[in-house]
Amino acid sequence: MKILIPVLAIALLFSCQNRAQISSKQLDVIKANPTEVLIQDGLARAYFASGCFWCVEAIYESIKGVKESISGYSGGFTDNPTYELSNTGKTGHAEAVEIIYDPKLVSFSTLVDVYFGSQNVTQVNGQGNDRGSQYRSILFYQNEEQKQIILEKKAALSKSLNVEIAAEVYPFQKFWIAEDYHQDYERLHPDNSYIRNVSVPRLKRFQKKFPEFLKDGH
């Protein structure tokens, strides 16, 4: 089993067409054992990367059972990543979100459904015009149960749509909180052109398709 798990992880990464070369440092991240974040005060945490974190943060904060969504960086091999450094594509990190949620109100499985339901599942290294490894799609698992949920849903979606799903699957290691000015960006900057033309339309498309997931008033 210790041999098979790294092989599976590498295969998942290479399933996307853009993986021509992977550094040894990135392979160490892919093959690492996952870190599990304990439930505190009845709240659990989940981690996802799906393009611009401004967009993803707003989507998850509209979901019943989600208390907060925080923008940051994960999936890389450098310490203390910043927005400027992650944008170089040389840190291995992707823009990610930390979802703080009540598992009694919303399950990890549902959060994965939200993930796939709110993105272009076939786009490699980006979402929309946000392109580059820092915008790639990654689902992070903290234990074997979460890993199986992700893999089964990814496989089922691929089969039903008859397409290759671009999202990678990583063991969760560490989440680095992004700079303060990135937090709640969509809510605090409604007149920003990116928010009006990209983030809000993406949120509305998701809300129209999945009203059953939404908090009252969304």
What are residue 169's phi and psi, to 5 degrees?
A: -125, 120
Dihedral angle computed from the Cα positions of residues 170, 42, 115 and 136, in that order, rounded to the nearest 10 degrees: -40
HSE-CB at 173 with a 13 A cutoff on CA atoms is 20
Instruction: Write down the catalytic residue from 12, 13, 30, 52.
Output: 52
55 is catalytic: no
What are residue 117's phi and psi, to 5 degrees?
A: -75, -5
Q: Which residues of 148-160 are buried (b: 16+ CB within 10 A; e: fewer)?
A: ebbeebbeebeee
Q: Residue 72's beta-bridge partner residues?
A: 96, 177
Which has the closest alpha carbon to 42: 111, 96, 97, 105? 105
> Mapping DSSP to helix (H, G, I), strand (E, B) and coil, where does residue 215 land?
coil
Largest Cα span, the chain? 52
Tell me how far apart the alpha carbons of residues 217 and 158 are, in angstroms, rounded to a whole number.
33
Tell me how far apart the alpha carbons of residues 41 and 55 are, in angstroms, rounded to a whole number.
27
Catalytic residues: 52
